[in-house]
């Protein structure tokens, strides 16, 4: 069976998720669009030496123009917005000239992604029918798969949030059955102290560089994660707090 992939249309923009980092977890649609693009915009944080998105798609790059866009990591929304407004102007100029432009992003473009800033700016510059979003496998999905543990069942509540505000994390521990934390890197010890105070170290897992060849590191117990200092920015924590029984939820009739 051959599955027909989509090619880019001239004069269109695509925000494309490329998954967690393994080239064979790129969707067929994403691969077809990247291969047929005139220009590929690749985001790289100012703190990273290399673009993980570019590493993931490197085998799909041939004659496309590649623009590496270095974006700020500081919490300064005006700088971030003005930086993405500049990229949006560059994208809009190319798209208006009839070129097909793809911006790639790690994971999914709608989950904590730089694509959202770009899409926000492009809305004012391009017709809506020329802007497309292509989903990718998110880090939280890839993490659950490597751990081999379901994130949710039946009535369970899943909370996904950044580990940037430890008070907010503490509150979240009270109101879901599974807590997924992104952007953990520099706050690992703070998080460890919080989990220890709640007796949750054995229920927390840390997954670093999931699906990135030669870099993946999985800690099924947070105690082991705390003993190791090699985690980077690409780290996701899953805290399995328990199960929510049907008795705890209002009845909606037959559960299937």
Between the alpha carbon of residue 82 and those of residues 72, 77, 128, 224, 233, the distances in Å are: 10, 8, 21, 41, 24
User: Please, which residue, 11 or 158, has the CB nearer to ligand SAM?
Assistant: 158
Contact positions vs ligand SAM (CB under 6 A): 20-21, 105-108, 111-113, 138-139, 143, 182-184, 207-212, 233-236
> Tokens 């949006």 identify what position?
88
Give least dist CB 140 to ligand SAM, A: 6
Residue nearest to ligand SAM (CB): 107
Give least dist CB 190 to ligand SAM, A: 15
Give yes or no for a contact between 130 and 13, defined as CB atoms under 8 angstroms apart: yes
User: Please, which residue, 214 or 253, has the CB nearer to ligand SAM?
Assistant: 214
User: Please, which residue, 143 or 178, has the CB nearer to ligand SAM?
Assistant: 143
Give least dist CB 105 to ligand SAM, A: 6
- Please enumerate in sequence order all residues whose Cβ is within 8 A of that of 2, keeping only pairs 6 or more positions apart, or say none: none
Give least dist CB 223 to ligand SAM, A: 19
User: Please, which residue, 94 or 143, has the CB nearer to ligand SAM?
Assistant: 143
- Please enumerate in sequence order all residues whose Cβ is within 8 A of that of 148, keeping only pairs 6 or more positions apart, or say none: none
End-to-end CA, the chain: 33
Q: What CA–CA distance (Å, rounded) separates 163 from 237?
A: 9
DSSP state of 5: P
Name the token pair of 27: 């969707």
User: Please, which residue, 35 or 108, has the CB nearer to ligand SAM?
Assistant: 108
Give least dist CB 225 to ligand SAM, A: 13
């Amino acid at each position: 069976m051959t599955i027909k992939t989509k090619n880019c249309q001239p004069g269109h923009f695509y925000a494309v998720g490329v998954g967690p980092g393994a080239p064979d977890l790129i969707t067929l649609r994403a691969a077809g669009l990247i291969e047929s693009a005139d220009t590929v915009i690749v985001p790289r944080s100012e703190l990273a030496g290399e673009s993980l998105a570019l590493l993931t798609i490197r085998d799909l790059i041939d004659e496309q123009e590649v623009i590496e866009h270095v974006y700020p990591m500081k919490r300064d929304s005006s700088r971030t917005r003005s930086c993405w407004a500049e990229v949006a102007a560059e994208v809009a100029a190319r798209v208006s000239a009839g070129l097909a432009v793809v911006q790639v992003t790690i994971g999914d473009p709608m989950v904590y992604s730089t694509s959202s800033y770009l899409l926000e700016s492009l809305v004012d510059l391009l017709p809506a029918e020329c802007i497309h979003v292509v989903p990718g496998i998110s880090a939280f999905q890839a993490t659950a798969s490597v751990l081999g543990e379901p994130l949710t069942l039946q009535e369970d509540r899943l909370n996904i949030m950044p580990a940037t505000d430890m008070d907010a994390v503490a509150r979240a521990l009270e109101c879901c059955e599974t807590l997924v934390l992104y952007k953990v890197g520099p706050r690992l010890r703070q998080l460890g102290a919080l989990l220890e105070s709640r007796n949750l170290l054995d229920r927390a897992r840390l997954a670093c560089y999931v699906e990135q060849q030669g870099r993946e590191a999985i800690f099924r117990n947070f105690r082991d994660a705390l003993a190791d200092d090699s985690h980077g920015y690409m780290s996701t924590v899953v805290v399995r707090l328990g199960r929510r029984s049907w008795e705890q939820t209002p009845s909606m009739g037959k559960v299937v």
